Amino acid sequence: MTNSNTKPATGKLGIMVVGLGAVSTTFITGVMMTRKGLTKPVGSMTQYDKIRIGRGAEKKYLHYKDIVPIADLNDIEFAAWDVYPVNAYESAISANVLKEKDIEPVKDELLKIKPLKAAFDKNYAKRLDGDNIMHGATRWEMVEKLRADIRNFKQEKGVDRVVVLWAASTEIYVAPDMKYHGTIEALEAAMKADVKEQIAPSMCYAYAALKEDCPFVMGAPNTTVDIPAMWDLAEETKVPIAGKDFKTGQTLVKSGFAPIIGTRCLGLSGWFSTNILGNRDGLVLDEPANFRTKEVSKLSTLESILVEDEQPDLYTNYFHKVRINYYPPRDDNKEGWDNIDIFGWMGYPMQIKINFLCRDSILAAPLCLDLCLLIDLAHRAGRYGTQRFLSFFLKSPMHDYTKDEVPVNHLFQQYVMLKNAIREMGGYEADEEID
């Protein structure tokens, strides 16, 4: 390695997951099965992707682990919080994503992961009825208990570092309100005053993680770390944060396909996206207030890729609609259907239809792994605050909206950001430009 200042990945990495449902049990089971050599971590950039370093005669294409010190899968310990008391094995079976033959070989390990009591407020996810919760806890008590959970896990499992990953349900939409979310002091005061409407339970997890020196990843579209108070706290504690919402199916297609339309200078009249899914996520999103949170994140992608101001002839007043429909027979097998109305030479209309029959958790699991490994790497490299280079994995990348910063949603530009960050943390030149 060259002149990298990134600390090595010594000791164990603890991953504490909020939510022990379909996504997280698929993620955890897959890591355990990979460690035993019984499966392959397909879809994981950290395990498969190669990046060019150097130019000309010095040019090499290397796996991430050969450029930067990434934690080894054998060094990972898992823990979880969930509103339902069932262990990871029972949850993996009932999630109905993986076949039993892909769960049974790691049954003993999964049985040991029993969820800690969740910091939960039913008003934020009315469709969930679990009883494994911190009963009667104020927001500040939630924070204190979560901090104790993190410390206990580190001690019991002997882990050196911890990443906290939100893989739980989408909460109802909490609009950023500077009275409560503008500064660290305002946020802490609101937590201590038990202000329930502006302080989501997820904010308690994020606050607790940052205070315990643990990077935090928001895998749902919740506004948890997307507020100035959390940005300031991440800067003050020198801990990295990332979010929001795993980019799995439809938005992955959108962020990769919209550049085709834009690069080819074709016009867009409308883009209609609809989804059917039947897992716990679908159940929660069937509630309008929870769907609102998701809608905000899904709608933001297109508008920053196909921009009216840049090409008024092509992208003025196009119609963009997103729908999610709860459909229990599908379980985790989500169907994303896109109808795209475009126009070409002399304004003649054409249509594109994309039907993505995807498996939500199968697409999300490798993102969970990559986000945890890369944000741990960022922490050891001395990076803190919002990690924009992780936008590649996220549906609605965090950005400073208070300064009118526009997020990068273009998949291939996000990939350049990712590659440059890996190069830098490995002590190499960040030599690709986004143009």
- At 331-340, the pLDDT tens digits run 888 899 999 9
Q: Rounded mean pLDDT of 60-64?
A: 98
Tokens of 393: 């994995």
- At 2-38, the pLDDT tens digits run 568 999 999 999 999 999 999 999 999 999 999 999 9
Percent of the chain residues past pLDDT 70, beyond the cut: 99
More confident residue, 221 or 292: 221
E strands along 253-296, which residues? 267-277
- At 355-373, the pLDDT tens digits run 999 998 999 999 999 999 9
Tokens of 49: 């992707």
Which pLDDT belongs to residue 251?
87
The mean pLDDT value of the chain amounts to: 94
Tokens of 119: 């910091």
Which pLDDT belongs to residue 400?
92
DSSP for residue 170: P
Which pLDDT belongs to residue 127?
86
Strand partners, 133: 118
**Rounded CA gap, 98 and 88, in Å?**
13
**Rounded CA gap, 433 and 417, in Å?**
9
Q: Scanning the structure block, which residue is given the tokens 């599908």?
A: 330
Which CATH topology does 13-246+362-425 take?
A: Rossmann fold (3.40.50)
Q: Residue 63 burial (CB < 10 Å; 0-12/13-18/19+)?
A: middle
Which pLDDT belongs to residue 22?
93
Determine phi and psi for 50, rounding to 5 degrees.
Answer: -120, 140
Is the pLDDT at 351 greater than 90, yes or no?
Answer: yes
Which pLDDT belongs to residue 297?
66
Q: Residue 299 burial (CB < 10 Å; 0-12/13-18/19+)?
A: middle
What residues contact 322, with CB distance under 8 A and at least 6 apart? 273, 274, 295, 298, 299
- Pair 335, 310: CB distance under 8 Å: no
- Following DSSP, what letter does each residue of 377-427 receive, concatenated? HHHHTT--EE-GGGGGGBSS----GGGTPPP---HHHHHHHHHHHHHHHTT
Q: Rounded mean pLDDT of 265-270?
A: 98
Tokens of 127: 């469709």
Which pLDDT belongs to residue 349?
98
Q: Is the peptide bond preceding residue 7 cis, with omega within 30 degrees of 0?
A: no
Tokens of 79: 């823990």
Q: Which of 128-132, 180-184, 199-203, 234-238 has the lowest mean pLDDT?
A: 128-132
Which pLDDT belongs to residue 330?
85
More confident residue, 364 or 404: 364
Which pLDDT belongs to residue 434?
86
Q: Rounded mean pLDDT of 332-358?
A: 95
- Pair 120, 201: CB distance under 8 Å: yes
Q: Rounded mean pLDDT of 384-394?
A: 97
- Pair 14, 154: CB distance under 8 Å: yes
Is the pLDDT at 237 greater than 90, yes or no?
Answer: yes
Percent of the chain residues past pLDDT 90, beyond the cut: 86
Residue type, 339: N
Is the pLDDT at 260 greater than 80, yes or no?
Answer: yes
Is the pLDDT at 211 greater than 90, yes or no?
Answer: yes
- Pair 249, 358: CB distance under 8 Å: yes
Domain boundaries, the chain: 13-246+362-425, 250-359
CA angle 378, 380, 384 (to 5 degrees): 50
- Pair 163, 210: CB distance under 8 Å: no
Give domain 250-359's CATH architecture.
2-Layer Sandwich (3.30)
Which pLDDT belongs to residue 1?
39
Closest alpha carbon to 373 in 175, 62, 161: 161
Which pLDDT belongs to residue 191?
98
